[in-house]
Structures are given as C-alpha cells and as structure tokens.
Amino acid sequence: MTSEPSKEVTTFGGTPTKAATVTVHSVNHTAIEIRWVTPDVFALQGSVSEFRVNMTGINQSIERVYEPSTTSTVIGHLQPSIAYTISLTLVTHGGATITSEPISVRTKDGAPHGLDSPHLTIVNRTALRVIWKAPKTPNGQIIAYNLYVDDHKISTGMITSGSYILSHLQPFQIYTVKVEVCTIYACVKSKATHGTTSESVPSGLTSPNLLVQSAYSIQLTWSQPSEPNGILHHYELWRRRKMLCSDKVESRPQDMSHKCMYLECDVLESFCGDTCYSGPKTCCDGMLYDNKKGHVCCGRHYILGEAGDVVCCGGQFHTRLHNHKCCGQRYVEVLPGQVCCPDTREDRVEVGAGDSCCGSLPYSSTGAQICCNSVLHDGYDVQCCGGRVTSDSLMCCGNASIGKSYQPHADKYCCGVVYVPLANTVCCTDVVGNVKVIFIKYEEFQCKI
C-alpha cells in the first residue's frame, strides 16, 4: 500500500562561492546609484532570498534590504562631497551569505553652507579692507571667492579665507559688500555688510565772488563744494595783503656743512654713532654707555635686564606671550595666518590676514592683488617693474623696485636695467654686483671689471 505524495520541499542552498558584481556612481551631491549582477546558480549554490546594502560615511550609516528580483537602487539624502563605503551582502535560501568587496564613492560637491557676512575696516579715504572666513560647511572643494561691491563683482583670485583691499573708492561713501564662495556645484553669497570710507579734503570749491560795497567793506559769496567728501563743519576765510618785492626779506641760504660728514677713529678704537670709543663701554643703537653689571641693550636704552622669558620691544621689556610679536615699537598679538605691518609715518601698526606688507597694509602675496611702490593694485595681467605697474607681456629688466619695462625681443636680453642686443654685447658684473654693458667687435671676450 502506497501513501499519498508529500508536499514538495526544497533543501537549503549551499555556501555561495562568488559575491555579486557591484558598480556604483554618484548621481548628484546627495544621491548614489548602486547596481549589481547576481552570479549564476552554480556559484550561488542555491537561490537568493534577499539583498542587503550597507553604506557608511562620516557620522552616517545606512542599511537597506531588497527583494531577490532587485538589481539596482538609488540612495538619497546623503551629505555633499563625502566619501561613502558600500558593500552588498547576498543571502541565499537557507541563510548562507556572501559579501562583496567594499567600494568607495564620493558624492558630488554641493553648495557651501554657513557663510558669514564679511568684516570691513577702513584703510583710508579711498580704500576698505574686506575680511572673510571660510563657510562652516564647504560641501566640496572651494574654487573661488568673489566680492560684490554694490552688486559689482570682483574676483579675488583666492580659494582660502583671507582679506582683500578695495581701492579707488570715493571718500565718505557708503558701500554694500557681500562675499561669494563657490564650489563646482554652486556659488553662495553672504548677507551684506555696509561700510563707509573715511572723510577727505573737500574738492570742487570755486573761487568766492567779491562785491565792493564801500571803501572799507567787501561782500563775499561762495557756493558749497561740488564734492564735500564728508560733513562740512565750517568755512574759513583767508585774506592776504600784497607787498612790494622790495619789501620782501631774502631768506638766508641754509648751512649745508653738516649734511655730509665722516668719522675717523684709531685702529684700536670702535665707533658708536658719531663717536669713537675704547674701553669698557657698550653701544646701544648709536648711544654709548659705561658698562654696568646686569644691564643690557634694549633699543637705544641701556637698562637693567629682567629675569625670566622676556622680549625687548620699543625700548622696554615685555613678558613673552603666545602668538605675540614685536612690530615697530609695539608688542602685539599676531595670530597664525596674519602679519603685522608698522606705519612708517604714524605711530600705529596694522594686523591683518596675509603674509606680506604693502606699505603699512597686510595682504596676501598669493592673492589677486600686487604691491607696487607701497600701493595695492589689481594684479590681473600686470606686473610691478621699477615702482610702476606695467603689462606682464613686457620684459622687465631689474625688479619691482629698480627696473624698466621693454617690448620683448627674441634677440635681446637684460643687463641690469638695460635691454641690450644679444649679438654684440657682454654683460659684466663686478664683485659688489654692479653691472656694465660692454659692446664687442669679436666673438671672444672676457669681463675684466
């Protein structure tokens, strides 16, 4: 006697010998597409019951489960410009698993986020300094920082936080400034900051009108200057009395004998300033002092040295502080990425972002501006040669301080500040660096200067 047939059952699959083939690519700045190909039944040792996608990134971990018929998926709501590691786990009927090798992919750059408004400081009556910080979340590689001054775009040529001098402005004018940061994906502007240049001397003041009223009075009328360049406080009237040339007192010629002098000292003597000396004395920057125990030079002063870690600056000792430097006559804080520039005309210093000084203004030598004759200029297609801004297509013989520009010529070269023919000249330099152009008639010639 034979029973009824039992239900059809399938034995569990074996252990898979090959993982799925996985490919990934970034769709945009917040999504990644994942595709996979299932191995054949022999490599699977059974059938697939589900797929598990594991994705990990910075502060983010994602796991998704998919049906056996699924071959691709797009995972969104990711972070821009973040590298994610992806693996696919294949689960067979019976619970056996095999995981693919991890694959890394980075989401595309997104729009920067968290850009603060720029900070403005007054440089002078025609210039403002713009200082900006990097966005809190760049969401990619920064490719440009731009400034908008009253909606006029200015490229800084920089890709890091820093500062930029806005020059050629009008005195006592209000300007609206925004900073823009760009990635490959998008550009974002900050909120506006308003700044005002300092006041300047009024201009456009015409001569007053005079109307004689009597033998002892004159009526004067005048108009307001066309460009006040500030708030007008008051008007001053000046008058002068004409005098005959015969009444003018001749000025005496200035005694120039003290303008040029030299100092002659004994062979066993030293000199300090304009004084010869010998013996136990100390010279401090041109000032001569008798030696005293425990005293040291600090500038032109000879003072009692202080114990501990101290710094001499401005003729006095200061306790050494972190991120502080001696700048001019002041001991001031200079943070990393900043530079301190002393003012040669006034008793002040300027600390700001940059690595160089242009006169008394800090600036970045790698930015879009160049310093020429202590004035900042737009550096696009120009160079500084001999204290003048010239086209960078010209040949500059010399340097930014001492030099001269010429139209480039294939058969000429620079000898000092002179652009001379290559065929019949030799440029000779002496031991102290002086150069001289020698015109030659023969091919063989040696410098003897």
Tell which of 106, 135, 162 closes a domain: 106
Q: What pLDDT is recorded for position 231?
A: 83
- Whose structure tokens read 């456009």? 204
Using the 3D structure, point to which of 142, 161, 196 is the last residue of a domain: 196
- 59: left (phi > 0), else alpha (psi -120 to 50), else beta? left
Give the pLDDT confidence score for residue 66 in this predicted structure: 96
411 with 322, same domain?
A: no
Establish if 233 belongs to a structural domain: no
End residue of a domain, out of 362, 377, 392 = 377
Task: Answer yes or no: do 338 and 365 share one domain.
Answer: yes
| CA distance linking residue 75 with residue 26, whole number of Å | 10
The verdict on 409 and 373 lying in the same domain is no
Residue recorded with tokens 């030598």: 365
Give domain status of residue 6, yes or no. no
- For residue 178, being part of any structural domain is answered with yes
User: Domain count of the chain?
Assistant: 4
> What per-residue confidence (pLDDT) applies to 438?
80
Q: What is the pLDDT of residue 5?
A: 82
pLDDT score, position 233: 81
| CA proximity to 104, closest of 26, 31, 14, 10 | 26
The reply to whether 138 and 192 lie within a common domain is: yes
Domain of residue 128 covers 119-196
Q: What's the CA gap between 187 and 112, in Å, rounded? A: 7
How would you write the pLDDT of the chain (449 residues) with one tens digit per residue?
A: 777 887 876 666 678 889 999 999 999 989 999 999 999 888 888 889 999 999 999 888 999 999 999 999 999 999 898 999 999 999 988 888 999 999 999 998 888 999 999 999 888 888 899 999 999 999 989 999 999 999 999 999 899 998 899 988 998 899 999 999 999 889 999 999 999 988 887 888 899 999 998 888 889 999 999 988 888 888 888 887 777 776 665 555 555 555 667 788 888 889 998 889 998 999 998 899 999 988 888 888 888 876 668 888 888 888 889 999 999 889 999 999 899 999 888 788 888 888 999 988 888 888 888 899 988 888 888 999 999 999 999 999 999 999 999 999 989 999 999 999 988 888 888 777 788 888 876 555 566 65
pLDDT at 248: 61
> For residue 130, what pLDDT is reported?
93
Q: Residue 255: what pLDDT?
A: 56
According to the model, what pLDDT value does residue 323 have? 93
Amino acid at 301: H
157 and 88 both lie in a single domain: no
Domain assignment present for 300: yes
Q: Residue 422: its pLDDT value, please?
A: 87
Cα end-to-end span (Å), the chain: 129
> Are 57 and 26 a contacting pair, CB within 8 Å?
no
